[in-house]
Amino acid sequence: MTKTLLVALMLTTAAGSALQADVKTGQKYYLKSLKSKLGMNGTQFAAQHTQDEWEALFDNRGEGFIQEYSNRYPDTKTFLQNPKSWKKLQHIRDFAIEYGSDSGNVPSCG
Tens digit of each residue's pLDDT (9 = 90 or more) over 31-72? 999 999 999 999 999 999 999 999 999 999 999 999 999 999
Tens digit of each residue's pLDDT (9 = 90 or more) over 62-108? 999 999 999 999 999 999 999 999 999 999 999 999 999 999 999 98
d(CA 12, CA 30): 27
pTM, two decimals, is 0.79
3-state helix, strand, coil in the chain (%, to 5): 80, 0, 20
